[in-house]
Structure 1
Amino acid sequence: MKCTVLHESKGRIRVHICRSRMTLRQADIAEYSLAALSGVRNVKVFDRTCDIIISYECHRGAVIKALSELSLDAERAAELVPEHTGRELNREYEEKLVSAVTHRLLHKLLLPAPIRRIISFIRAVKYIARGIKCLLHGKIEVAVLDATAIGVSLLRGDYNTAGSVMFLLKVGDILDEWTHKRSVDDLARTMSLGVEQVWLKTSEGQEVLVPVSEVRRGDMVIVRTGSMIPLDGKVTAGDAMVNQASMTGESVPVHKSEGSYVYAGTVVEDGECTVCVESIAGGGRYDRIVKMIEESEKLKSTAENKAAHLADKLVPWSLGGTILTWLLTRNVTRAVSILMVDFSCALKLAMPISVLSAMRECSRAGITVKGGRFLEAVSEADTIVFDKTGTLTYSSPRVAEVITFGGRDEAEMLRLAACLEEHYPHSIANAVVKEAEERGLLHEERHSKVEYVVAHGISSSVDGERVLIGSYHFVVEDEKCLIPDERVFRHLPKQYSHLYLAIAGEIAAVICIEDPLRKEASQVVEQLHRAGLSRVVMMTGDNERTARAVAEKVGVDEYHSEVLPEDKAAFIRSEHEAGRKVIMIGDGVNDSPALSEADAGIAISTGAAIAREIADITISAEDLYSLVELKRYSDALMKRIAWNYRTIISFNAGLIVLGALGILSPAVSALLHNASTLAIGMKSMTDLDTGEKD
């Protein structure tokens, strides 16, 4: 691509693409292609002027080379561009705004006064009709104030004021809609599936683990309990209960059988199914996410609902103030000035925008939040409950030792364990699979249907023999599997967690799992205490000895050992009965009941898909400091909402007083009111002030 350097400074270059025009699609290709270059911090592409600004930390030569090799029509480059980028949305509203301003200027400069009056009457019909419709429904809201102000101005023959008010209202509507859609669009584009590999069923009937990018229309994909459906398609075999809350808002799982349609991003809660892919890369998911964001009641925090109710309640007072001003002064202009000001616009715009912007900012920090009320819950919470494995400990434990019984081969036992565990990803299952891969232990799928028993283990059949893998409670106590060598069994290494493998009713091997504590765990607990969480609790299925050792190292206030999934949920219910607000953090299928029960359920990004689906918030698996960041963002959001309240009420009250005193004309009141609404809305879109970082 031929380019000309327009300006250059250290770490920043502005170039001009030597071509007459650039489409929106080509601008996106240029932006995402250059942004993919290692060391490039930021890229801005101006499609109208064909200019590009690049901020970089890498060698200048690498940037120049990337520009020279840039192709705006290459299919490979186009694959880097997401389905929606926001550029088209911005262009749409830029053009709407320019059109509104241009029409107003032409209207004022070119049309004679009689024609302008006729046009003013025609345009006023829409606003007056809205006001009348509002009254007919028994409501006195902002539409009534607008209709009254425009109607009174027209009846007085003040066409300039009426025209100015309608123009400002139109511009305000465009800006409000643009601001809201930009926030929703930014948030929707941050929500990704996070599915990298899928089980593909070949024409020979074998299951092969492949990257999701290699799946094509017509391919058969197998999805099992706890896993996310990666692509849209139709079920061709199997039965499953699918959680579709992220797509349709349904609160209970939906039964899917042969012939049913399933959506990318939904999760199989129970059962398994084979899906014939009909739409690659989750086509249409963006639109469904946008719809979910706009319609879901989950977005509505108490503060947002309070703002909406307060805004509506203040409208009759504004109308009453207008009537009182006219009765006292007999000055219509002063009365109409009050009508130009209402609290509703700013309150109803600023609060949701603040929440959406906070959610977007969380996303940039690796935190996905499904609704404003969960940020509010985190800010107000006084108790946080941790699952141990995969949360306080690293989400990638490793196999430390494999102890076999009955003269069985260690490699063969590990191979068999990996063959079963790879179908149900969890931190411990991942450790087994990884160890087998590192030892070069490849395996064929020799087992029959795999059954997952929540919080216990896996059951299947290999060469006609029943095979079990899971906890001691599941394999020994529930399934009554025999222990071949009591002496060896009693002296299993106590510093490790144990995974029991049984074949034909007898223990065949014990896989010892080393689950090191996260190095930042104790510091995070200390910072959460300082941030206002008075009670930090750890709950684990491990034995008392292991649980106590971890609790002492981490510094939690209390711990509970040998708990089942229902015990965690019951504990949270008891905390609610005691009047506490509770956050729960976990990563496994067994944490799902507790995540659902909590005021804010938080899942680890590498955890089970069903945990991420049920959870209200998902944080990065890299470290637990994102929990502290989440608390800071939540507190900062509530401070911003409080600031918005004070600013909106005080500023608009001031405009009402100045209008009543005759200092401000109706047009100026409307201008200042709309300008303040836009300014507060834009302020609400800026990054939160989270204070000093520890």
Structure 2
Amino acid sequence: MRFVIKHEINGRIRVHLIQKTMSFQQADTLLYYLHSKKFVTYVKVYERTADVTIGYVGARSTIIAMLRQFQYENVIVPSGVLATSGRELNAQYQEKLMRKVFVRIGGKFLLPPPIRTVYIVLKAGKYIFRGLKSLIHWKIEVAVLDATAIGVSVLRNDISTASSIMFLLGIGELLEEWTHKKSVDDLARSMSLNVKRVWLVRGDQEILVLPDQIKVNDCVVVHMGNVIPFDGVVVSGEAMVNQASLTGESVPIRKVEGGYVYAGTVLEEGELTIEVKAVGNSTKFEKIVAMIEESEKLKSKLEGKAEHLADKLVPYTLAGTALTYLCTRSITKALSVLMVDFSCALKLAMPIAVLSAIREASLYDITVKGGKYLEAVAEATTIVFDKTGTLTKAKPTVIDVISFNNENEDELLRVAACLEEHFPHSMAKAVVDAARKKGLEHKEMHSKVDYIVAHGISSFINNKKVVIGSYHFIFEDENCKIPDGCEAKFASLSDEYSYLYLAIEQELAAVICIEDPLREEAAAVINSLRQTGIDNVVMMTGDSEKTAKAIARKVGVDKYYSEVLPEDKANFIEHEKARGRKVIMIGDGINDSPALSAADVGIAISDGAELAREIADITIAADNLFEIVTLKLISNGLMKRIGKNYRLIVGFNTVLILCGVGGIIQPTTSALLHNTSTLAISLKSMQNLLT
């Protein structure tokens, strides 16, 4: 690629690409390519000017070489990235905004007054029609107020005021529509499928492949706790499927042979083999967009309150206009009240503030599924942490495999990995990664795998029952025994590690030692959360009392609970809610799903189990726990902004009405100041809460 350097400082460079034009697809391809480089920290691609700004770490020469090597046709972009980037949407609305401003200026200075008057009168018809339509349905809403203000201005031959009102209303509507669509699309993109591998059925084997390799009529296997990657027909198996992301149904649906399943739904229990009927990501994206736009649950209480209050205030504004005329017999003073209303600003600024906060959260890799959850985070006083993969690092590591049946440790690790690779949990990933690093490949040598949530896995290998899981599962549920003569060896196991126990034919075969180091930022995060309004920090884990106590002491939680089951976490949260407290739950595993559902706000770690991410209301990235603090600060800031908007709207518009009734300002000035303030508050609401 040919380019010239326009500007650079240490760690930041701006270049201009030598090409006539840059399409939206080319811009998104280049953006994806640059983002994929580890040493690139920031990228902005300007398709209009073919400029690129890059932030980076490391040597400048690396960036130059990377840009020289780049060719659009050589970059393979995942399906759905280009189709759902949002770049074209932004360009369309920027053009609409500029066009509206140019038409306003051009019409004012270029059109002869008679033609301009006819144009404005015809344009006013649209607003008057909306008002009449509302009245026909026996609704006195904002549309009636707008129609009255514009209609009266036209009847008084005050064409300038009517034009100003319509222009400012049009700008406000355009900004609201743009912000809404962009926020919804951003949210839908973050909720869209991000399946990295799928199990393809080939003969008698299941092969792990990339989603792009799947074609229509291929058969794929979906195991418990995973997202269904494609639309398709069930050809074998039985399972309970959570379809809440598409239908809003809270109860899982039973799927059997012949049933149809949809991409993006989650398999909660069981296992299915699916014949793929549709591939690609665009259909799923469109379904999610429709779900978001139609779902009332996404609106915060304050947002809904603003909408209802806006419409409720309309009759009072009309009554105030009539009363002012009756008392003063002055049409001018009555119009001053009519031209100013509280509802317009309330109805416009509040949704924009909420959607902008959701957009801002996405900049920090935080996915929020609706304004309702930001409000709940702001009100929350209790936060419950799962330990593994949350307070501890998301990638635990296998340190050792201790054999208890005299078999080779690598062979025992291979058996464990063969079972664990089917289930998305951080401990399971640690076992699979350890086997992969040692080159311990295997064929599927077991029968059907049964996963018992929060306990372990059970299967048969060579007609022998094999189980792997927690101490409770192996020794209490399955009644396995320690081999004779190995009691002292078992008792000498260190307390510093977490353990997975592998048993064959009711006898302990191996103990897998897993190091699950504490996140460096965990203690600082908990301290920061207390400063944002959280006064009860709780840790709940299935680990032993010793391990839980040590972690709790290091991070500084208020309470901790060890050896808990999924239902214990959910019951604790229900108890806290019964006491009138708002509760946040943070987890990453399938076993955290009941608690995530029970909490006022469920937050999942992005690289945790797909079921947890699907059920959660908010998802955060796995690499930095401080995102929880960022989320809390954004939520608190949003509530402060909404309160400030309320006070500003009510105060400013009250002053305008009093000035109009007192004859201090004319209706035209009132309308201009009112609409300008509405626009200014809306634009202010679009700004980032964190600077």
Scaled by the length of structure 2, the TM-score of the pair is 0.91
Given residue 557 of structure 2, which amino acid in structure 1 is its aligned partner? Answer: V
Counterpart in the other structure of 2:564: 563
Alignment of 1:565-604 (within 5 A): 565-604=566-605
Specify the SS of the correspondent of 2:186: helix
Question: Structure 1 residues 512 and 77, CA, compared in 2 at 3 Å: closer, same or farther?
Answer: closer
Alpha-carbon spacing, 1:363–1:120, altered in 2? closer, same or farther (3 Å): closer
Contact kept in structure 1, 2:22 and 2:50, CA below 8 Å: no
Moved more, 29-38 or 581-590: 29-38
Structure 1 letter corresponding to 2:428: A
1:162 to 1:517, Cα distance in 2 relative to 1, 3 A: closer
Q: CA deviation at 1:416?
A: 0.8
Structure 1 residues 460-539: aligned runs within 5 Å? 460-485=459-484, 487-488=487-488, 490-495=490-495, 496-539=497-540
State how 1:450-469 maps to structure 2 within 5 Å: 450-469=449-468
Aligned residues: 685
Separation of aligned partners in 1, 2:81 and 2:374 = 30
Give the CA deviation at 1:312.
2.2
Structure 2 gaps, min length 5: none
Measure how far apart 1:446 and its partner are.
Answer: 0.8
| CA pair 424-643 structure 1, distance change in 2 beyond 3 A | same
**What's the CA shift string for 1:449-484, capped at 9, x where partnerless?**
111111111111112222211223222222223432
Q: Distance in 2 between matches of 1:154 and 1:279?
A: 55
1:171: which partner in 2?
A: 171
Q: How does 1:19-30 map to 2 (within 5 A)?
A: 19=20, 21-30=21-30
Tell me the alpha carbon deviations over residues 128-176 of structure 1, each in whole angstroms, 9 at most, x when there is no partner.
2322332343332211111212222333343443344334433332232
Paired residue type of 1:396: K
1:213 Cα deviation after fit: 4.0
1:251 aligns to what SS in structure 2? coil
Q: 1:69 to 1:666 in 2, by over 3 A?
A: farther
Q: CA RMSD in A?
A: 2.9
Q: Which residue of 2 aligns with 1:376?
A: 375
Residue range with higher mean Cα deviation, 266-275 or 36-45: 36-45
- Cα distance in 1 for residues equivalent to 2:389 and 2:333: 65
* 1:617 paired residue number: 618
Superposition deviation, residue 308 in structure 1: 1.9
CA 656–54 in structure 1, closer or farther in 2 if over 3 Å, else same = same
Q: In the alignment, what sits opposite 1:197?
A: 197
Aligned residue for 2:673?
A: 672
Give the partner amino acid of 1:273.
L
Structure 1 residues 374 and 168: alpha-carbon distance in aligned structure 2, compared to 1, 3 A threshold: closer
Question: Do 1:232 and 1:283's aligned partners in 2 also have CA atoms closer than 8 Å?
Answer: no
AA partner of residue 317 (structure 1)? Y
Flag the 1:36–1:568 CA change in 2: closer, same or farther, 3 A. Answer: closer
- Give 1:444's aligned residue: 443
Q: C-alpha distance in 1, partners of 2:499/2:124?
A: 76
Distance 1:114 1:342 in 2: 30
Q: Which amino acid aligns with 2:131?
A: G
Alignment pair present for 1:125 and 2:125? yes
CA distance in 1, matches of 2:528, 2:334: 54
Report deviation, 1:586. Answer: 1.5
Aligned to 2:223: 224
Task: Provide the secondary structure at the position in 1 that maps to 2:254.
Answer: strand
Map of 1:114-263 to 2, 5 A cutoff?
A: 119-202=119-202, 204-263=203-262
Q: 1:594 to 1:81 in 2, by over 3 A?
A: closer
Task: Please say if 1:291 is aligned against 2:318.
Answer: no
CA distance in 1, matches of 2:198, 2:419: 16
**CA 1:233–1:344 in structure 2 vs 1: closer, same or farther (change >3 Å)?**
farther
Q: Which residue type is aligned with residue 516 of structure 1?
A: P
1:269 Cα deviation (Å)? 0.6
Q: Are positions 1:660 and 2:666 aligned together? A: no
CA contact (8 A) 2:236 2:256 kept: yes
Q: Which segment is superposed worse, 114-123 or 380-389? A: 114-123
1:568-598 alpha-carbon deviations (Å, 9 max, x no partner): 1111111112222211112211111111111
Q: CA deviation at 1:527?
A: 2.3
* Secondary structure of residue in 1 paired with 2:467: strand
Paired residue for 1:643? 644
Q: Is it true that 1:305 corresponds to 2:297 in the alignment?
A: no
CA separation in 1, counterparts of 2:210 and 2:656?
A: 60
Specify the alignment match of 2:384 in structure 1.
385
Residues 1:459 and 1:663: Cα distance change in structure 2 (over 3 Å): same
Counterpart Cα distance in 2 of 1:502 and 1:157: 90
Relative to structure 1, is the Cα distance of residues 179 and 195 closer, same or farther in structure 2, using a 3 angstrom cutoff? same
Structure 1 residues 66 and 117: CA distance shift in structure 2, 3 A = same
Question: Larger deviation: 597-606 or 227-236?
Answer: 227-236
| Cα shift readout 1:82-124 (whole Å, capped 9, x = no counterpart) | 3223332233334434554555566656766666555555433
* 1:331 equivalent in structure 2: 330
Kept in 2: contact 1:183–1:353 (CA 8 A): no
Contact kept? 1:153, 1:159, Cα under 8 Å? yes
1:272 Cα deviation after fit: 1.3
Query: Equivalent residue of 2:237, what SS?
Result: strand
Instruction: Decide which moves more: 564-573 or 357-366.
Output: 357-366
The alpha carbon displacement at 1:529 in A equals: 2.4
The DSSP-based 3-state class of the residue aligned with 2:235 is: strand
CA contact (8 A) 2:424 2:589 kept: no
AA partner of residue 424 (structure 2): P
Q: What amino acid does structure 1 have at the position aligned with 2:161?
A: T
Which shifted more, 438-447 or 157-166?
Answer: 157-166
Distance 1:111 1:535 in 2: 66
- Measure the CA separation in 1 of the matches of 2:432 and 2:213: 22
Question: Does the alignment pair 1:608 with 2:618?
Answer: no
Q: Is the 8 A contact 1:190 1:360 kept in 2?
A: no
Task: Write the distance in 2 (CA, Å) between the matches of 1:70 and 1:501.
Answer: 49
Measure, in 1, the Cα distance between the counterparts of 2:383 and 2:96.
48
* Bigger Cα displacement from structure 2, 216-225 vs 532-541: 216-225
CA deviation digits over 1:9-64, x for unaligned, max 9? 54444536442x544434444555556565473333243xx442434447666666
Q: Which moved more, 1:362-371 or 1:213-222?
A: 213-222
Q: How far is the alpha carbon of 1:224 from its aligned partner?
A: 0.8
* Residues 320-345 of structure 1: CA deviation (Å, up to 9, x unaligned): 22222222333323322332222223
1:537 counterpart SS class? strand
Instruction: Check conservation: 2:79, 2:280, Cα contact below 8 A.
Output: no
- Residues 572/323 of structure 1: CA separation in 2 closer, same or farther (3 Å cut): same
Superimposed CA distance per residue, residues 241-289 of structure 1 (whole angstroms, 9 cap, x where no aligned partner) = 2212223322222233334443333211111112333444422232223
Q: 1:41 to 1:534 in 2, by over 3 A?
A: closer
Percent identity of paired positions between Structure 1 and Structure 2? 57
Paired residue for 2:542? Answer: 541
Tell me how far 1:382 sits from its aligned partner.
1.5
- Match runs of 1:51-90 below 5 Å: 51-57=50-56, 71=71, 76=76, 82-90=82-90
Cα distance 1:339–1:61, how it changes in 2: closer, same or farther (>3 A)?
farther
Contact 1:30/1:45, CA 8 A, preserved across alignment: no
Classify 1:287/1:570 alpha carbon distance in 2 versus 1 (closer, same or farther; 3 Å).
same
Cα shift readout 1:59-81 (whole Å, capped 9, x = no counterpart):
66666666666556667479795
Quick check: 1:197–1:209 contact (8 Å CA) kept in 2? yes
The residue type paired with residue 325 of structure 1 is T
CA distance in 2 between counterparts of 1:201 and 1:480 reads 35
Shift of 1:551: 2.0
Q: Which residue of 2 aligns with 1:550?
A: 551
Aligned-partner SS, 2:276: strand
Q: 1:191 to 1:78 in 2, by over 3 A?
A: closer
The Cα shift of 1:610 comes to: 0.9
Give structure 1 stretches of 5+ with no counterpart: none
Structure 2: distance between partners of 1:183 and 1:51:
25
Q: Equivalents in 1 of 2:432, 2:477: separation in Å?
A: 25
For 1:4 and 1:407, locate their aligned partners in 2 and report how far apart those are by CA, in whole Å.
66
Question: What's the secondary structure of 1:284's corresponding residue?
Answer: helix
